[in-house]
Chains A and B, each alone.
Chain A
Amino acid sequence: MTRKSYHLLAMLALAAIGLAAPWLLPSYLSQFSKLWLFIVLALTWDLMGGQMGYNSFGNVVFFGIGMYATAATQVALYYPLAAYTAAKGGGTEFIFNTSQFFTGLAAGLPVGGLAAAIAALALGLIILGMRGHYFAIATLGLAIAAGELAAGWDLIGAGSGMVTPTPPDSIDTTVLFYYLSLALAALTFLFLAWLYSTRFGLAINAIRDDEDKAEAMGHHTTRNKVVAWVISAFFLGIAGGIFGNLSKFIDPIDVAFNGAEIGVWMILMAILGGKGTLWGPVIGAGVFYIMKELFWTYLLGWQRVALGLLIVIIVVFFPQGIVGWLKERWPGRFGPTAEEMEAADAKGEA
């Protein structure tokens, strides 16, 4: 079998699992929804960290912005936002009927994505000039500051948080959000697969490999970096919007801008699966998420010790990730090495 057919087969298998899950494992649906969202988090992080070499600790900012923007839109379409949050997350008078709920969601999710993308554009122009760990730390600072600022902003509920609109009883939100998450994960995956096959994919790889050289060769590196971050932020923002509705309660620091958990997990998942590969983040997210759930279930009180140990083992022994390791072990089956790829590129262009 060729590499391409493996790729197709894997995609089909994943799609089959995704579509069949509601019938096969109905009681695990919420967890599966989160798994799909985690895949989006890992994929969008890898676009920056793996493909472009910009290790961001702050991507969670876009996740949080998307979450708040979506929820705020859902509410603001029908009720004054300030009154809604002043009631500490909505009283009995804030009722959303079926069409209001769907319209709110349909408008809210794109707004969430766009708000995040705009934030990425503005921030990117300022801080994407930084390199290496200075970029990493600046984004870390942004992530923490964003949470603190949200916790001080009364319009969105400040430290009391914000409850997403309660759907009417007639809607089975578990299934609804499951399919939304699945669709988003599929869309993100396919979009990135396409993106990496274009010249833009090569351009951001060039930034990772040697930014100065890429610039000297006439690449608009700054523009490319900002565009990549905006794409990453857009999908993250929508993921945040869905996650907020899944969690139902948005706390500024513990849910939306949770840099110490979600912010770090997205990085870990990408590294675990294999940085800079298309499938790596997907596999990494799956393995990480399942491990995490098992630890939390069976190691009560010690789950973080186990998770910490796992992290250390992952990064110390498998810094190249599962896919990276597979590629090293069976290069014929799991994709070409970098040299083969270059050779293929050369042939393609000739």
Chain B
Amino acid sequence: MTGFRTGLMAAAAAAALVAGAAGAQAACTITLGAAVSLTGKYSTNGTHTKNGYNLALKLINDKGGVKVGDQMCKLAVKYYDDESTPARGSELAERLIKQDGVKFMLGPYSSGLTKAIAPVTEKYKVPMVEANGASRSLFTKGYKYLFAVLSTSEQYLASAVALAAENAGKMGKKPNQLTMALAIQNDPFSQDIRAGVIDDGKKYGMKVVVDDKLPKDLNDMTTTLTKVRALHPDLFIVSGHAKGAATAIRQMAEMKVDVPMLAMTHCDSAKIIKKFGKAAEYTLCASQWAPTLTYKDDIFGSAMDFAKLFNKTYGYMPPYQAAESAAAVEVFADAFKRAGSTDPQKVRDALAATEMQTFYGNIKFDATGKNVAKPMVLYQVLNGKYVVVAPSKWAAAKPIIPRPKWSERK
């Protein structure tokens, strides 16, 4: 038995050595750590996240890397698969920091995973720039090493609710007579969206008539849709990552559920236009970013340049998850340059002082670490394209409200 136990220890020690060797890096390479969801329920968006990181990395390195002090440093990312589970995420963060010796972290996909990882990076004072954790609760804990390039979740559908109120007349009602139906996944991010929508609705005096929490392994929404069809809400809000978006679009078309307004999240990451064509028409989609926005930077060029390059590299148009992930890498690169050092504390201070424009939008962090310089945009699917309809600064068209009834469509 003791022999066996020695063997065990030998195996553990060997593992330690190998891991230690992997952690050692060449002359000037800055390794960022990232645990992303390559498998499990968030794997679609996890893959978008990883593609975004990789593209930014490649471009920055192709241009010679980042100037830190007086030498040029290449960037690299050490990935692990968190399998979409928070427990795994926090383990991997710990491993990246303690065993792989990573001094800087990129965020995972989803608020739940970010919530699990943030306490770890905070504990070891490792700066993390994250691009996919939008839940407000992340920014109420006084974290000092967490920076988020994206807008927080209560902003996602605020403009959709505002649009409903503005257009209440077209639906033959006053704003306070409007009703909402909510079908929102039961996870930290989506539930924060729900809280935001309910608060916004209250401002106008709207009434919630359906409030279903969708399970995480959802593939059938017919019961919720039956309810929606019976209660005729004016605004139907769906948020359930890529799977929720795809299921809702498909089944609403099948069941011909008529609602004057349908607003949802994750349209582009679910590729609803490509997959469902006409069935996706008139859907309002919250987005962190759009290729038609007028931002630019000197790494990617304009937002459209990024979209084209991404499409050429990975064969599909970038959903905003990929764009914000790429932006997170740019933010790090910028901070390294300004800090002139790879000392985590100095980089952290440089991050806190970030004020820049990227192809993805303006970035400036407030004291809690969230980006306050960039608004959300709202798309509508019109003629098989995402068209920005709000905010008015970028609006390329006026939204069509109410949606035509299914019976009136060709």
Instruction: Report which A residues bind B (CB closer than 8 A).
Output: 6-7, 9-10, 13-14, 17, 25, 27-31, 34, 87-92, 148, 151-152, 158-161, 163, 166, 173, 243, 246-249, 251, 253-255, 258, 261, 279, 283, 286-287, 290, 293-294, 296-297, 300-301, 303-304, 322, 326, 334
**Can you list 21 A-B contacts with CB-CB less than 8 angstroms, sorted by A residue number?**
A28-B16, A28-B99, A31-B91, A31-B94, A88-B136, A89-B115, A89-B137, A90-B140, A91-B140, A158-B186, A161-B188, A163-B119, A166-B119, A247-B87, A249-B90, A255-B85, A287-B8, A290-B15, A297-B95, A300-B80, A301-B39
Is A160 a contact of B119 with CB atoms below 8 Å? no
Is A30 a contact of B91 with CB atoms below 8 Å? yes
B81 within 8 A of A: yes
Main secondary structure of the interface of A (DSSP, over half): helix
Residues in A with CB closer than 8 Å to B92 are: 296
Is A27 a contact of B85 with CB atoms below 8 Å? no
B274 within 8 A of A: no
Is A301 a contact of B86 with CB atoms below 8 Å? no
Residues in B with CB closer than 8 Å to A279 are: 1
The answer to whether A283 and B4 touch (CB under 8 A), given A30-B94, A247-B116, is yes
Is B86 a contact of A254 with CB atoms below 8 Å? yes
Instruction: Report which B residues bind A (CB closer than 8 A).
Output: 1-2, 4-5, 8-9, 11-12, 15-16, 19, 38-39, 79-81, 83-87, 90-92, 94-95, 98-99, 112, 115-116, 119-120, 123, 135-137, 140-142, 185-188, 190-192, 213, 215-216
Closest 8 CB pairs of A and B: A159-B186, A88-B137, A91-B140, A27-B98, A249-B116, A248-B119, A254-B85, A160-B188
Residues in A with CB closer than 8 Å to B11 are: 290
The answer to whether A166 and B141 touch (CB under 8 A), given A34-B91, A161-B86, is yes
Is B140 a contact of A249 with CB atoms below 8 Å? no
- B261 → chain A closest CB, angstroms: 25
Residues in A with CB closer than 8 Å to B187 are: 159-160
Once the chains are docked, how many angstroms separate the CA of A89 from the CA of B191? 13
Nearest CB in chain B to that of A253: its residue: B216
The answer to whether A304 and B112 touch (CB under 8 A), given A9-B2, A261-B85, is no
Most buried by A among B9, B80, B116: B116
Is A297 a contact of B19 with CB atoms below 8 Å? yes
The answer to whether A255 and B86 touch (CB under 8 A), given A88-B136, A158-B191, A300-B80, is yes
Residues in A with CB closer than 8 Å to B216 are: 159, 253
Most buried by B among A148, A293, A334: A293
- B172 → chain A closest CB, angstroms: 35
Most buried by A among B1, B8, B80: B1
Once the chains are docked, how many angstroms separate the CA of A80 from the CA of B1? 51
Residues in A with CB closer than 8 Å to B185 are: 159
Given known contacts A27-B99, A152-B186, A300-B38, what 9 new A-B pairs fall within 8 Å (CB)? Answer: A25-B16, A28-B98, A31-B91, A89-B137, A91-B137, A160-B135, A160-B191, A261-B85, A290-B12
Is B39 a contact of A286 with CB atoms below 8 Å? no
Most buried by B among A10, A14, A30: A30
Once the chains are docked, how many angstroms separate the CA of A88 from the CA of B140? 9
The answer to whether A334 and B38 touch (CB under 8 A), given A161-B115, A249-B90, A254-B87, is no
Residues in A with CB closer than 8 Å to B140 are: 87-88, 90-92
Is B16 a contact of A10 with CB atoms below 8 Å? no
Once the chains are docked, how many angstroms separate the CA of A152 from the CA of B212? 11
Once the chains are docked, how many angstroms separate the CA of A261 from the CA of B91? 15
- B321 → chain A closest CB, angstroms: 19
Is A254 a contact of B84 with CB atoms below 8 Å? yes
Most buried by A among B4, B12, B86, B120: B12
Residues in B with CB closer than 8 Å to A10 are: 1-2, 5
Residues in B with CB closer than 8 Å to A249 are: 86, 90, 112, 115-116, 119
Is B79 a contact of A87 with CB atoms below 8 Å? no
Nearest CB in chain B to that of A88: its residue: B137
Question: Which of B1, B4, B112 is in CB contact (< 8 Å) with A161?
Answer: B112
Once the chains are docked, how many angstroms separate the CA of A253 from the CA of B39? 16
- B238 → chain A closest CB, angstroms: 16
- B134 → chain A closest CB, angstroms: 12
Is B137 a contact of A160 with CB atoms below 8 Å? yes
Residues in A with CB closer than 8 Å to B137 are: 87-91, 160, 163
Once the chains are docked, how many angstroms separate the CA of A6 from the CA of B9? 17
